[in-house]
Chains A and B, each alone.
Chain A
Amino acid sequence: MKAAKRILGVAVGALMLGASSVAADTIKVGIIGPFSGPFALQGKNFQAGVEAYMALNGKSVKGHDIEVIYRDLPAANPAQSRALAQELVVKEKVQYLGGVYFTPDAMAITPLLTQANTPLVIFNAATSAIMTQSPLVVRTSFTTAQTTTPLGKIAAERGVKKVISAVSDYGPGVDAEVAFKKAFEAAGGKVVEAIRMPLNTNDFSPIMQRVRDSGADAVFAFLPSGPTTLGFVKAYNETGLKQAGIKFFAPGDLTQESDLPALGDAAVGLLTTFHYAVSHDSPENKRFVEAATKAIGSADQLSFPAVGAYDGMHVIYKMIEATEGKQDAQKAVDAVKGLSWTSPRGPVSIDSETRHITENIYLREVVKGPDGKTYNKEIQTFPNQKDPGLATQ
C-alpha cells in the first residue's frame, strides 16, 4: 500500500515535471524603471539592456517562454512604486521583479517580496541599505561607495594632498562624499572642505570660486548624470580651474557615455572611476554593445544602466533555470548566490553574503578618439571590489 502510494507519487511527480518542461508556459518578468520624464534616458537603457540580453540568449529558458512587462515610474515616488509592484505581482502574475532606478522606490517594494514570493533584481538603485531590507533582493549595478572608494588611493598616488569635495545634496552625493573622504584620508590626504550643492543648481561658477579659494590641489565631485553635470564640467573649464592645474576626480556617473557628446572637449582629461565603460575591450562587451545599440537605436544614448539591466536579466535567467520555472523566490535567490560569470564589464560575481555584485572598478580618463569623439578610456583596474558600505555592517 505504502509502496503503491510512493510509486503513484513519483509517477505524478514525473508527469508534472515532464509537463512543466514540455509545455510552452510563459514566465513573466516585471521591469520598473523611469521610461519617461527627466530620467527617460536611463529607463531607455534598462530596456536596451534587457532586449540585448534576450536577443543574444533567446527568449526562453528550458522551454519556458519569457515575457517582459515594462512599467513606468518617471521619478522617485515610493507610493507609485509599491502600486506598480503590487499590480505586477497580483494582477500580471509576474514571477520576477527587476529594474528600479531610485533607492526609495526599491525600499517601497522590499516589504512586499516575501508575501509575493518574488525576487527583486535591482538594475540600478545604488544605496547599500536596500540589500538589508529583504533576503529576496539581488543587485547587479553598483553602490556609490563601491565605485568611489578606489579614487581616494588614486588621488593620493597622483600626488594630491588637499582636496575639496563638491557633491549634490542628496543620498548618493552624501554617500560619495563620505566614501571618498574615508579612502583619501586613509591614503594620507586631507579633504579641506566639503560642499553639498542643492540638486537644482544651474550656475556653478560660485562653486568654482569656492574651489579656487580653498587652495585645494584637486576637486572631488559627484552629481547625478544629466544636465547638471554639463553645467558643472563647463564651469570647471570656463573659470580657468583646469588651466590652473586643479585636478578633477569623480565617480563615473559624471562622464556617462550618453552625456559625453554634450560635454565635448570640456570633458577631456577628466579622471573617473566606474564599473563599466562602453569602450571596455572584450569580446563579451563587443557583442553587448552591438546588440544594445541596435535596441536603443543610437550609439550616443548607450550608458551604464544598460549593463546593469543586461546582467540583471542574466541573473533572472539563471534563477528561472534553477527553479525549473516554478515560483520559488528563496530557491531562486539561493541559486544565484556565489554565481560568477563574465559580464560585458568584466568578471563579476554575486556575493553570497550580501547578494550584491562583486566587480572590477576601473579608472578611466576621457580621451579623444581617432574619429574626434570623446570616450572613457580604461587605464587602471581595481579587481573584485565589494561594496564597502555593506562589508562594514
Chain B
Amino acid sequence: MPDLAGIVIIAAVGMAGYWLFPDNLALLTRIVAVALLVLSIDLVTGYCGVATLGQAALFGAGAYAAGIACVNGMTEPLTLVLIGAVAGAVAGLLMGSVMLRAHGLAQLVLSIAIVQLFHEAANKASAYTGGSDGLSGLMVSPLFGVFAFDLWGKTAYLFGLSLLVFVFIALKFVVSSPFGILCRGIKEDPIRVRAMGAFVFPVLLKMFAISGAVAGIGGALAAISTQVVGLDSVSFELSANALVMLVLGGLGTLYGALAGTVIFMGFEHMVSAINPFHWMTMVGALLIGVVLAAPSGLSGLLGTISRATTRGKGGRG
C-alpha cells in the first residue's frame, strides 16, 4: 500500500474540516469537487507533461451526464457518480485523441478550443442541459436510502470526502505502477521512450481516459451536491483556475494538487468574505508572492525545506 501515512493525513484533514467548520460544509464539498478536477489535471500535466487549459470539458461532461441521468429518473448517488466517471472518461478519450496530435503551445490552444466547443454545445443543447439557465431540478435520492442531501450538507461532504480518498488511493496505485512510471518517462524524454520500443500515443491516451474519469467523478459530485448544473462547469475560466491551483500547489505529486486547491479556494473564500468588492487584488498578490517565494509551487517549497533540513542533519552527523 503506497503512502499509507499520506492517505491517513488526507482523511484526517478532511475530518478535521468537518469538525472545525461544520457551518461551511457546502464550501468544503465544492472544494472536494474541484480538488478532483485539479487531481485530474495533475495526471496529464504533472505526470505526462501535457499542459491543458480545457480540463473543465471533462468535469462538465461528468456533471451534465450525471445531471441529465438524474432528471430522467436515475437518482441513486453512487450510480450517478459512476455515470459521471464513464462520461468523463469518454470525453477524456476524445480530448486526448485531438490534443495529442500537437505539442507545447499548440496543444494548449487545442485544449482551449475543445473546452469552448463543449461550452457552445452545452449552450446549444438547452433542451437537455437547460443552457445558460442551468439544468435544475435534480432530486437525488438519499445515499444508501438513508442519508439525504440536505441544507446542512453533511451527507454531501462525507460522501465527497470518501470519494476523494478512494480516488486518491486508486491514483497512488496508478502513478506508481509501471504504466505510471512509463508516463513519467514520456514526460522526461519521449524520444528515448519511443526508442525503447514503447508506444507513446496509447499510453498517454490511457492516462487521458483515467484523468477524464477522475474529473467526471468531480463533476458528478458537484452536480449531486448542488442539484444544479451550470455552464460554468464546462468553462475556460474553471479550467484556468484549476490549472492555477495545481501550479500553486506543485505539479506531479498528487499532494500538491490537493494543497493548491485547498489553499487557493480557502484564501479566495476568506478574502472575498472580508471585502466582496476588491478581493481579486489579494488573490493576485498571493499568486505573485508564491512565484517569488516558491517558483516550483508550494510542495516544491516543502521539498526544498525538507531536503535542506535532512542535508543539514547529515552534515552534522
Q: Consider the complex of A and B and state whether they touch directly, i.e. have CB atoms less than 8 Å apart.
A: yes
Which A residues have a C-beta under 8 Å from some C-beta of B?
Answer: 35-37, 40, 43-44, 70-72, 75-80, 82-83, 85-87, 89-91, 103-105, 107-108, 110-112, 115-116, 127, 129, 133, 169-172, 174, 198
A112 adjacent to B132 (CB under 8 Å):
no
Of B22-30, B45-53, B176-184, the stretch lying at the interface with chain A is B22-30
Interface of chain B residues 202 through 246 with chain A (CB within 8 A)? 222, 225-233, 237
A71 adjacent to B133 (CB under 8 Å):
no
A89 adjacent to B151 (CB under 8 Å):
yes
Q: Which residues of A contact B296 (CB under 8 A)?
A: none
The contact of A87 among B27, B123, B134, B226, by CB within 8 Å, is: B27
Q: Which residues of B contact A85 (CB under 8 A)?
A: 26
Interface of A is mostly: helix
B23 adjacent to A107 (CB under 8 Å):
no
A79 adjacent to B280 (CB under 8 Å):
no
Residue of B nearest to A75 (CB): B232
A115 adjacent to B151 (CB under 8 Å):
yes
Complex CA gap A43/B280 in Å reads 15
B26 adjacent to A107 (CB under 8 Å):
no
Interface of B is mostly: helix
Q: How many A-B residue pairs have CB under 8 A?
A: 121
Of B104-112, B167-175, B269-277, the stretch lying at the interface with chain A is B269-277
Nearest CB of chain B from residue A319's CB, rounded to whole Å: 20
* Given contact pairs A103-B133, A108-B227, A127-B133, A198 touches B120 in the complex (Cβ within 8 A): yes
A76 adjacent to B226 (CB under 8 Å):
no
A35 adjacent to B276 (CB under 8 Å):
yes
Complex CA gap A163/B292 in Å reads 58
Q: Closest 3 interchain pairs by CB?
A: A104-B134, A91-B23, A72-B276
Complex CA gap A367/B26 in Å reads 49
B253 interface hit (Cβ, 8 Å)? no
Complex CA gap A347/B133 in Å reads 30
B255 interface hit (Cβ, 8 Å)? no
The contact of A104 among B26, B33, B132, B150, by CB within 8 Å, is: B132
A71 adjacent to B276 (CB under 8 Å):
yes
B141 interface hit (Cβ, 8 Å)? no
Q: Which residues of A contact B124 (CB under 8 A)?
A: 169
Most buried by B among A75, A108, A115, A116: A108
B123 adjacent to A169 (CB under 8 Å):
yes
A79 adjacent to B222 (CB under 8 Å):
yes
Complex CA gap A87/B21 in Å reads 10
B279 interface hit (Cβ, 8 Å)? yes
B229 adjacent to A78 (CB under 8 Å):
yes
* Given contact pairs A78-B228, A79-B226, A36 touches B280 in the complex (Cβ within 8 A): yes
* Given contact pairs A87-B24, A103-B134, A116 touches B279 in the complex (Cβ within 8 A): no
Residue of B nearest to A110 (CB): B136
Q: Which residues of B contact A103 (CB under 8 A)?
A: 132-134
Interface of chain B residues 133 through 170 with chain A (CB within 8 A)? 133-134, 136-137, 150-153
Interface range, B side: 35 or more
Q: Which residues of A contact B229 (CB under 8 A)?
A: 78
A107 adjacent to B134 (CB under 8 Å):
yes
The contact of A82 among B26, B272, B277, by CB within 8 Å, is: B26
Complex CA gap A198/B225 in Å reads 30
* Given contact pairs A77-B232, A86-B153, A72 touches B277 in the complex (Cβ within 8 A): yes
* Given contact pairs A71-B273, A72-B272, A115-B150, A83 touches B228 in the complex (Cβ within 8 A): no
The contact of A108 among B24, B228, B272, B279, by CB within 8 Å, is: B228
23 A-B pairs with C-beta separation under 8 A: A71-B272, A71-B273, A76-B231, A77-B230, A78-B229, A79-B230, A79-B232, A82-B226, A86-B24, A86-B26, A87-B24, A90-B24, A90-B152, A91-B23, A91-B24, A104-B228, A104-B231, A107-B228, A108-B228, A116-B151, A133-B136, A171-B126, A171-B131
Nearest CB of chain A from residue B269's CB, rounded to whole Å: 8
Residue of A nearest to B237 (CB): A75
B278 interface hit (Cβ, 8 Å)? yes
Q: Which residues of B contact A174 (CB under 8 A)?
A: 126, 131
Complex CA gap A237/B237 in Å reads 33
Q: Which residues of A contact B134 (CB under 8 A)?
A: 76, 78, 103-104, 107-108
Q: Which residues of A contact B24 (CB under 8 A)?
A: 83, 86-87, 90-91
Complex CA gap A172/B132 in Å reads 9
B27 adjacent to A76 (CB under 8 Å):
no
* Given contact pairs A86-B151, A104-B132, A79 touches B30 in the complex (Cβ within 8 A): yes
